[in-house]
């Protein structure tokens, strides 16, 4: 396994930060909270699931499978049947 350089760590960290905290996570929660009113808890839970847990699950899936990307993650596991 190849050791990463400091520059590569910085690039990876900025990409992960951008995935978790995009412009939508800066603007959307305020608007969502204003529109949700008394149902703000359900809105917050939905935002946490869609804005944090799903990207985290994607990172974990790539880490566990050691795939190069989406094509490596989606490739067939076994031989195809005739």
Query: For residue 5, what pLDDT is reported?
Result: 93
Does pTM top 0.75 for this prediction?
Answer: no
Helices 54-65 and 6-20, axial angle in degrees (round to 10): 140
Q: What percent of the chain has pLDDT over 70?
A: 87
Q: 40 pLDDT exceeds 90? A: no
User: What gap in Å lies between CA 20 and CA 54, rounded to an integer?
Assistant: 10
CA distances from 31 to 19, 36, 41, 63 (A): 20, 9, 14, 34
Q: What is the mean pLDDT of the chain?
A: 80
The total number of residues written for the chain in this structure: 82
Q: What is the dihedral of CA 69, 28, 52, 19, to 10 degrees?
A: 30
């Amino acid at each position: 396994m190849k050791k990463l350089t400091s520059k590569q760590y910085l690039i990876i960290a900025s990409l992960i930060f951008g995935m978790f905290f995009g412009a939508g996570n800066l603007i959307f929660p305020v608007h969502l909270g204003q529109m949700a009113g008394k149902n703000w808890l359900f809105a917050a839970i939905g935002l946490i699931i869609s804005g944090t847990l799903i990207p985290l699950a994607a990172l974990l899936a790539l880490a566990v499978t050691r795939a190069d990307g989406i094509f490596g993650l989606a490739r067939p596991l076994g031989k195809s049947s005739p």
